[in-house]
Structure 1
């Protein structure tokens, strides 16, 4: 059975969707920008800080759904300027174990919601509640 959740610390989505969709095997988190996070717009323009803010919130969303960043298997990243990829990569890598990174796509998208410079969405394996992973 599919379950759909909204992170209670974020505004209810203005689009017809949910923050988190669960299918019993995987967790799918909707794309998130720093401007979706209260106070996050204060760091717009600093790609490293935008990335950190979004990754911290995605981590909390996974915890809310019973998982962690260790369960992430795929990430999609959209940057307004692909020339910032190395700065974004350095901040992004802080959230994963070295050489144990999820599969990833990174594209340039000229306009992101709220004027943010990075949007990140991810998919994670839903932990087995009977396992100690």
Structure 2
């Protein structure tokens, strides 16, 4: 049975969707930009800081769902400018154990929500749990 959750620290989605969906095997997190995070506008334009802000929040969302970044198996990254990929990669890599990176796609999307320069979504393997929530 699917479970649908919203991160209580984020605004309720303005789109018809949930922040987090758990299906018993995987955790799916909706795409996130810094403009979705309170105060994130302060780092707009700095691709490394935007990436760190988003990755930290995604990490917290995984913890809320009972997982961690070590459980991540797939990531989708959207950049407004692929020329910034190396800077984004350096910040992104800080969140994973070296040589244990999840599968990833990175695309250029000329326009992201709120004027952000990076949007990241991910999927993680759900750790074994004993709850029946």
TM over 0.5: yes
Alignment length, in residue pairs?
130
Which 4+ residue blocks in structure 1 deviate beyond 2 angstroms? none
Q: Which residue in the other structure is 2:112 paired with?
A: 112
The alignment yields a C-alpha RMSD, in angstroms, of 0.6
Q: What is the distance in 2 between the residues matched to 1:126 and 1:100?
A: 17
Gaps of 5+ in 2: none
SS class of match (2:29) = strand
If the length of structure 2 is used for normalisation, what is the TM-score? 0.97
Please list every run of 5 or more consecutive structure 1 residues that lacks an aligned counterpart in the other structure: none
Could you tell me which residue of structure 2 aligns to residue 102 of structure 1?
Answer: 102
Which residue is equivalent to 2:122? 122
- Residue by residue over 1:11-51, the C-alpha shift from the partner in whole angstroms, topping out at 9 and shown as x without a partner, is 00000000000100000000000000000011000000000
Within-5 A mapping of 1:1-133? 1-129=1-129
TM-score (norm 1): 0.97
SS of 1:31 mapped into structure 2:
strand
C-alpha separation between the residues in 2 aligned to 1:51 and 1:8?
A: 21
CA distance in 1, matches of 2:79, 2:72: 20
Query: 1:5 offset after TM fit, Å?
Result: 0.2
**Shift in Å, 1:128:** 0.5
CA distance in 2, matches of 1:64, 1:3: 13
